[in-house]
Copies of this chain bind each other. A is one copy, B any other.
Amino acid sequence: MGPLAGIPMLGLDALASAAYGPEAAMTLLIPLGALSVGYIGPISIIIIALLFIVYLSYRQTIGAYPTGGGSYTVARRNLGVFPGLLAAAALLLDYVLVVAVGISAGVGALVSALPNLQPYTLWLCLGILFLIALVNLRGVRESGVAFIAPTYLFVFCLFTVLVIGIVKSLLSDGRPEPVVAPPALSAATATASLWLLLQAFSSGCTAMTGVEAVSNGVTAFREPPVRNARRTLTAIIVILAALLAGIAYLSKAYAIGATEPGRPGYQSVLSQLVAAVVGKGFFYYLSIGAILAVLALSANTGFADFPRLCRVIAQHGFLPRVFASRGRRLVYSQGIYALTFLSALLLIIFGGVTDHLIPLFAVGAFLAFTLSQAGMVEHWRRVGGGRNLHNMLINGVGAAATGVTLVVVFVAKFTAGAWITALLIPLMLMVFGAVRRHYHRVEIEISNSKPLDVAGLRPPIVIVPMHEWNKMSQKGLRFALKISTDIIVVQVRAGDKKDELRERWPDLVEAPARAAGLPTPRLVQLPSPYRHVLNPIIDYVFQTRDQNPDRQIVVLVPELVAYRWYHHLLHNKRAGMLKALLLLRGDQNIVVINVPWYLSG
């Protein structure tokens, strides 16, 4: 893979952020009314500067971890297990939000173009989510074309609009006439305060999400990978910065502001911008289509990353092992299920409105950034001491900048939703810890360095519940005779039916067994005044175990196996219930054996 394929494959997520980041900031400025457009520029400049710092930091990471340096890996290797897990928790949250925000922003673009769909926002979000989940469960051959075409179309459309818009603006002394006028900015209800601007900046920072992808995928590049990866990252950052700058400039020129999110009349900033510059013709719908496609594909990257990270964490023992095993189509199905469930939950809770998801997204992303950069600082300290001071400084600035941003975002967005991350991330860490402890305890409990213990290998006592004498019960009894010499047949007797089994026992069982020189199975009858069937058997099993503490007790349950599903309705579940009860209430000395009887058709 060269930079030309790398930009869409690894940059799609970062570039897609341009579709919601600036709007997220502008939504906070709505209360300022017409004054709001004046603040977009400064905020964008700060975000672009921060983006540049982050860029320099990740260039370093690419060089240092050419085999792939995700935040989890970098934090774990350099800072230790706990910071690694913290990064893992942040990343998992981040991936869930990549999915939720990608879809909700895509649907936001869609309902901007087709306002009649606005009331169905949430349903559209869930529909797209399940579609993406289905595609991923079926297993996708990662085909580049699916990424390349929409990404370049997206970049082409937006750049075309930006260039035309800027030219128009310059030709009209900065006061271009919009082709389709954007909705009027609402009346000001507040004045600009530092607090409000900090909040807008915090939301706008989501424009930077996704830039770490290149550092994860260095191995995918052709020789020389590090150089190609760095070129790709540079290209992505330049394009993204240009998009952010262009959007900021034109928003001011055309006096475009955000509209109330999640309300009728909502129209995304990009939709307003494209319509203002080129009108609502073919090119408008092409652009909206490209935006929707890129955002949906960016959600799809969450479906690649989340299960993969879950798998690594599970392999380290901090998540249930099922996350590390592939399903039937060689995909990590459990991770896909979990991700679908969590993003659906977020979409439902927040009504499919991007703006409400932004605070969570920003915190998760910047926590991962900060830990990754801090890990890099430690990396340079370890590998080179003084020699790498320069590198250390770059990553140190990156860590400091993203760390400060994290604190700003967390404080500014606390009441708007960041508090949820303050609960979720410790909760995830607790789950990681509990899972690890459990596996560790089990491992210790069952680990065994000693060779096979051959003491006390007496045949087990075999208990065979029998209702009547038939081929099924004969099969059970024959099996018992194959494995032991100590056999007790138990029959539960309710009511006063004829005692046929007892009467015929000497002829049916005792005589043939004696003739063949086999031990004679005993028949024990258990009275059951209340017509319970299972309890008397279970009681007898426990009683036998208590009387023979040094013996293994085997309960041999003959069971009818039906071939057709509806036959299951016709046979009572007693065998299954007996097995389940014995397993549940049993102990190390009790073993249940199922002797199946297969119906012939």
A586 and B591 in contact (CB under 8 A), knowing A452-B474, A454-B513, A570-B321?
no
A591 and B583 in contact (CB under 8 A), knowing A482-B457, A531-B326?
no
A470 and B447 in contact (CB under 8 A), knowing A479-B552, A597-B588?
yes
Query: In this complex, what residue of B is CB-closest to A593?
Result: B593
Within 8 Å of chain B (Cβ to Cβ): is A439?
yes
Is there an interface contact between A471 and B445, defined as CB atoms closer than 8 Å?
A: yes
Which residue of B452, B518, B595 contacts A513 across the interface (Cβ within 8 Å)?
A: B452
A74 to chain B, nearest CB (A): 27
Within 8 Å of chain B (Cβ to Cβ): is A342?
no
Within 8 Å of chain B (Cβ to Cβ): is A598?
yes
Within 8 Å of chain B (Cβ to Cβ): is A238?
no
Is there an interface contact between A508 and B592, defined as CB atoms closer than 8 Å?
A: no
Is there an interface contact between B483 and A460, defined as CB atoms closer than 8 Å?
A: yes
Within 8 Å of chain B (Cβ to Cβ): is A193?
no
Within 8 Å of chain B (Cβ to Cβ): is A263?
no
The interface residues of chain B lying within 8 Å CB-to-CB of A438 are 567, 570
Is there an interface contact between B482 and A320, defined as CB atoms closer than 8 Å?
A: no
A552 and B482 in contact (CB under 8 A), knowing A457-B518, A512-B454?
yes
Interface class of chain A by DSSP: mixed
A478 to chain B, nearest CB (A): 7
Is there an interface contact between A471 and B447, defined as CB atoms closer than 8 Å?
A: yes
Q: Which parts of A454-497 form the interface with B (CB within 8 Å)?
A: 454, 457-460, 469-475, 477-479, 481-484
Q: Which parts of A514-565 form the interface with B (CB within 8 Å)?
A: 515-516, 518, 531, 552, 560-561
The interface residues of chain B lying within 8 Å CB-to-CB of A423 are none
A522 to chain B, nearest CB (A): 14
Which residue of B481, B572, B594 contacts A592 across the interface (Cβ within 8 Å)?
A: B594
Is there an interface contact between A591 and B599, defined as CB atoms closer than 8 Å?
A: no
User: In whole angstroms, what is the CA distance A567 to B478 when docked?
Assistant: 37
Is there an interface contact between A459 and B478, defined as CB atoms closer than 8 Å?
A: no
14 contacts between A and B (CB under 8 A): A325-B572, A447-B470, A448-B473, A452-B508, A452-B509, A453-B478, A457-B478, A457-B516, A483-B483, A586-B596, A586-B598, A587-B598, A592-B593, A593-B594
Within 8 Å of chain B (Cβ to Cβ): is A503?
no
Is there an interface contact between B561 and A583, defined as CB atoms closer than 8 Å?
A: yes
The interface residues of chain B lying within 8 Å CB-to-CB of A591 are 479, 593-596
Within 8 Å of chain B (Cβ to Cβ): is A435?
yes
Query: In this complex, what residue of B is CB-closest to A454?
Result: B516
The interface residues of chain B lying within 8 Å CB-to-CB of A560 are 442
User: In whole angstroms, what is the CA distance A469 to B447 when docked?
Assistant: 8
The interface residues of chain B lying within 8 Å CB-to-CB of A189 are none
The interface residues of chain B lying within 8 Å CB-to-CB of A512 are 451-454
Q: Mark A563-601, 1 if CB is under 8 A from B, else 0.
A: 000010111100000010001001110111111111110
| Interface residue ranges, A against B (CB under 8 Å) | 320-322, 325-326, 435, 438-439, 442, 445-448, 451-454, 457-460, 469-475, 477-479, 481-484, 507-509, 511-513, 515-516, 518, 531, 552, 560-561, 567, 569-572, 579, 583, 586-588, 590-600
Which residue of B453, B460, B571, B590 contacts A482 across the interface (Cβ within 8 Å)?
A: B460
Is there an interface contact between A446 and B597, defined as CB atoms closer than 8 Å?
A: yes
Is there an interface contact between B594 and A507, defined as CB atoms closer than 8 Å?
A: no
User: In whole angstroms, what is the CA distance A512 to B452 when docked?
Assistant: 6
Interface centre among A435, A459, A478, A509 (most CB of B within 10 A): A478
The interface residues of chain B lying within 8 Å CB-to-CB of A569 are 320, 322
A504 to chain B, nearest CB (A): 9
User: In whole angstroms, what is the CA distance A448 to B460 when docked?
Assistant: 27
The interface residues of chain B lying within 8 Å CB-to-CB of A511 are 451
A31 to chain B, nearest CB (A): 43
Question: A-B pairs with the 4 shortest C-beta distances?
Answer: A483-B483, A454-B516, A446-B470, A448-B471
The interface residues of chain B lying within 8 Å CB-to-CB of A458 are 482
Is there an interface contact between A448 and B435, defined as CB atoms closer than 8 Å?
A: no
The interface residues of chain B lying within 8 Å CB-to-CB of A447 are 470-471
Is there an interface contact between B451 and A507, defined as CB atoms closer than 8 Å?
A: yes
Is there an interface contact between A600 and B570, defined as CB atoms closer than 8 Å?
A: no
Is there an interface contact between B457 and A477, defined as CB atoms closer than 8 Å?
A: no
Q: A322-B572, A482-B552, A588-B597 are known; give 16 further A-B pairs, CB within 8 A.
A: A320-B569, A442-B599, A445-B600, A447-B471, A451-B507, A451-B509, A451-B511, A452-B478, A452-B509, A452-B512, A452-B513, A454-B481, A454-B512, A475-B588, A591-B596, A592-B593
Query: In this complex, what residue of B is CB-closest to A573?
Result: B322
Interface centre among A483, A509, A597, A599 (most CB of B within 10 A): A483
The interface residues of chain B lying within 8 Å CB-to-CB of A484 are 483
A124 to chain B, nearest CB (A): 30
User: In whole angstroms, what is the CA distance A446 to B559 when docked?
Assistant: 12
A427 to chain B, nearest CB (A): 14
The interface residues of chain B lying within 8 Å CB-to-CB of A454 are 481, 512-513, 515-516, 518
User: In whole angstroms, what is the CA distance A86 to B451 when docked?
Assistant: 69
Is there an interface contact between A588 and B596, defined as CB atoms closer than 8 Å?
A: yes
User: In whole angstroms, what is the CA distance A37 to B152 when docked?
Assistant: 81
Query: In this complex, what residue of B is CB-closest to A587?
Result: B598
The interface residues of chain B lying within 8 Å CB-to-CB of A508 are 451-452
